[in-house]
Structure 1
């Protein structure tokens, strides 16, 4: 009976760690009920005290109440997620907040709530919402600091709120926790590259180089855990372009053309590269290809044309 009760208690307390948690908790509770009450009633028949069965009933009822509260929290969370899919953000927030109140130790519920607070705060330019998001992110990390998604989302939140280096540290922590997620490498590299460009255009080339250096070691780490993954191709190509390593830049940028999400930016960077090398026809070719894919990518071309001035006889675009 004691073992069954312990199983039930641990199942419920650690429920946020497993998808099958509530089923496991329910099984533990029912086992405790059958074993504990059965043994207690048998003891009473022999003339024993009512204290033992009374305590067993109280323990089982408390576990049932706790499980019911957690199930209600789960229901509120699912309702909130459904509201989000239906674009009913205000109603979704009510249900997600209720879910967190019912199940305050569930890091996943808090993470979802923090993300919604952040989204609403950005759309409405509402600092109170952004502060609520920060508080929830910090609580999530307190509850489960070893979940890569928590570190990833909080790092992105900090970067978007001007705490760049601190946010970058959390993104690196996310990579260390899940070193096989190629897209996370690409996001880390993209933030470093954007910061480097910002500093470069502000005349702080030495500081810009520091962020470019953070990108280079990522390739070896990614290939160690996910050989053949080219998620970093665009960022590495643009990094080599900024550092004047034209051959390496061309190699990575050509590889990045295979990714639908990166091909327009890669083509525009290639257009800038070929313009710099004096290959006007090729520059025009890649410029036109990029415009056909995504017209807004012209900003990539303009940015990298500012990085390195092409020769006067460059021709092309």
Structure 2
């Protein structure tokens, strides 16, 4: 099957600041793809280009098989977009916001009424449905905005863009959104997600790209990225300063100071055999190591490793 999203050499500048620098992307249909990066790395600009809201200076992109520049109307019929900030009409009730969005997306009056009620229930807003949204809390507005992005029949949405969708949500609401994302993907919708929550990307994404200074620094599954850029680390804690110096002398290249005093961090593949081998080599007389901890890589480790020297440019 052709990719749901394909971008080649996307370049975008604002004045003298280059936001995207020949960015390439390839997203398979029916998957969840997460774009990570520090503030100013170009995540939102990427979403805006792919959603036809901004034109690239150079490069090409196709979404749902359509060119984002020459076939904008076709792209817009195939996508749904939820931006970083809640966009609700404060002069309308929650029900009216969803009903209006449903009508604008092409649903009939009865279908719009049913869809609004379904989404209010799904996002825990039924009791607040008849209240003006200017009385909603920030989290409630965000949930309503997310619901508005889902008013269309999921089968009509080939690609859904979610730009930091869970910002400001409480843990329960975040879990609810994660379930919605899983349901959309299971139904064949491609979900393109930007997020600042690395746990969110780890749980949801089939593939992840880490963006820095407008370029892809790395791409792969969460497991691949953790194995490639972070791996495992054995943290050994020495009894005292003299023990620590002896451990440093015996340690192989690549070892370095750990997260606390008298601690040495040693790269390892995480297997029991390798951990035993390292402990025996570091402390053959079993007198220098007080305790040890095996540190399993997280996406936080990957993110910090890849973006340590990248200066933000523009959102």
Question: Could you say which TM-score interval applies, normalised by the shorter chain?
Answer: under 0.3
Between the two structures, name the one with larger relative contact order (CA 8 Å, sep ≥ 6). Answer: 2
Could you state the TM-score of these two structures normalised by the residue count of structure 1? 0.26
Q: Hey, which of these two has a bigger chunk of strand by percent? A: 2
Bigger-Rg structure (1/2): 1
Q: Hey, which of these two has a bigger chunk of helix by percent? A: 1
